[in-house]
Amino acid sequence: MPIVTTREGVSAAQKAALIEGATDLLVRVLDKDPAATFVLIEEVETDNWGFAGETVTALRQREAMQRQGAAR
């Protein structure tokens, strides 16, 4: 079963496309039965996701501030 981890804010249409695409890939590559293929999409809030010792929220805020500073 593929598990897809996304950020919050992914639309229902995007989730449906992920489920369809992951299922199609497993059918094509592994000859899986689509009726027996489950796809789990797990949404993780950026406060609950970390990288390099910081939350993704903090990293994105800093990057946004840097982009704003560079645009001036």
Contact in structure between 10 and 17 (CB atoms under 8 Å): no
Q: What is the pLDDT of residues 19-50, one digit of tens each?
A: 999 999 999 999 999 999 999 999 888 899 89
Type of residue found at 70: A
State the pLDDT at residue 26.
95
Local structure of 59: helix, strand or coil: helix
Q: Which of 2, 4, 10, 41 is catalytic?
A: 2
Q: How far apart are CA 10 and CA 31, in angstroms?
A: 28
- Residue 1 pLDDT > 80: no
Q: Which domains does the chain have, with CATH numbers?
A: 3-71 (3.30.429.10)
> Average of pLDDT values for 39-63?
91
Q: What pTM was estimated for this model as a whole?
A: 0.68
* Confidence band of 8 (pLDDT split at 50, 70, 90): confident
Among residues 54, 53, 55, 36, the alpha carbon closest in space to that of 45 is found at 55
Instruction: Mark whether 2 is an active-site residue.
Output: yes
